[in-house]
Amino acid sequence: MKFVIYNVENCRTRENRVGKRSIRFNSVTGNMYLSTKLAKEMNITMNDRLEFGCDENNPKEWFLHKTTDKRGFPLQFNRGGTRLRNKYICKTILDIAKVKESATFLVSKDPVKTELGPFYRIILSCPILPKNKPKL
């Protein structure tokens, strides 16, 4: 038997994401919001764009990559922070994590170094769900 152990490290609550490297996915709009800490640690600037990478040997492993290539997803900056929009990527990642609504995921501190530059792993195994769900 192989156990999956749940503890304080992998059972995050909404409050635990404050001040952490994270990315929030909005299932309705397709918006993805980078936490202030993540944007700062990735040194995101006005000319940067983001790309997402997936490990072809393990399609459940997703990564973020900063680029200036025009093929990257453009970022929007306002007082609410840094965001980008792509419903396909948003839905794909939420589906892989088996989340039907919006969720926040922590992002690894140490990037995977490749010939394309550093890629930061999105930790899909531990989604942080919104605290208050709307009543229908």
Can you give the pLDDT at residue 101? 87
Inside any domain, residue 128: no
- Give the C-alpha separation, 108 to 111, whole Å: 7
> What total of structural domains would you count in the chain?
1
Q: What is the rounded average pLDDT of the residues 20-43?
A: 93
Can you give the pLDDT at residue 76? 94
Can you give the pLDDT at residue 78? 85
What are the CB-based long-range contacts (under 8 Å, 24+) for 88-92?
88/30, 89/30, 89/32, 89/52, 90/25, 90/26, 90/27, 90/30, 90/31, 90/32, 91/27, 91/30
| 90-125 residue pLDDT tens | 999 999 999 988 999 999 999 999 999 999 999 998
Inside any domain, residue 1: no
Q: What is the rounded average pLDDT of the residues 27-53?
A: 94
Can you give the pLDDT at residue 5? 62
Can you give the pLDDT at residue 80? 75
Q: What is the rounded average pLDDT of the residues 66-74?
A: 94
Inside any domain, residue 113: yes
Inside any domain, residue 48: yes
Inside any domain, residue 136: no
Which phi-psi region, left, alpha or beta, contains residue 117 (left: φ > 0; alpha: ψ -120 to 50)?
left
CB 63 within 8 A of CB 122: yes
- The range of the structural domain enclosing residue 108 comes to 20-122
Inside any domain, residue 29: yes
